[in-house]
Amino acid sequence: MRSPHVKRPRNRSLGAHVSARVTTGFKTLVLILAVLALYLDLRSAAGWGHGGEGLVVVARQRSGLIMFDVYERGGWLWSRPRRRAITALSVADWVDGTALWEIEASKPRRAPVTYAQVPNGFSQTIPASGVPRALRSGGFYGVTVHGGGATGVVTFNVQAKEPDRP
């Protein structure tokens, strides 16, 4: 006979056993889904980023200059912006549709663009010669960018110049 002070090994109840297996199975499923998502995201960044996806155009105004940057999304799940090479950029008055400035490149170029300043490797097509008209403060404008089979469009409003800070 055993002493009453000796602990007997306890048998796990069936419910606790099933619960432990379900928890382990759930953790395994989550791990498999995370690995699959990472694989698909890396694959989309490597191979699918150039087809049909729109470009992201960012318009910034600093010190009276309007600058444009063009990006593409670098993945489906964990989006990482990457600067994108472009072949054409045009700026138009958003209200009346008048084309104000357009530049084109024979080969795609990766460069930020400042309104009315033609970057290296680009040529100005609108206006045919000279400098484009200045953008009005308070005016609404649209930018269309083409590059690598994708297009991006953004509208922007020119703000009044901020006073110089001391």
pLDDT at 77: 56
Per-residue pLDDT band for 12 (boundaries 50, 70, 90) equals low
Whether the Cβ atoms of residue 152 and residue 57 lie closer than 8 Å to each other: yes
Give yes or no for a contact between 147 and 131, defined as CB atoms under 8 angstroms apart: no
Whether 130 and 71 have beta carbons less than 8 Å apart is answered as no
Q: Indicate whether 125 pLDDT > 90.
A: yes
Overall average pLDDT of the 72-80 stretch: 61
Residues 60, 96, 84: CA angle, nearest 5 degrees: 35
Tens of pLDDT, residue by residue over 14-67, are 555 556 666 777 777 777 777 766 666 555 444 444 444 578 888 888 888 898
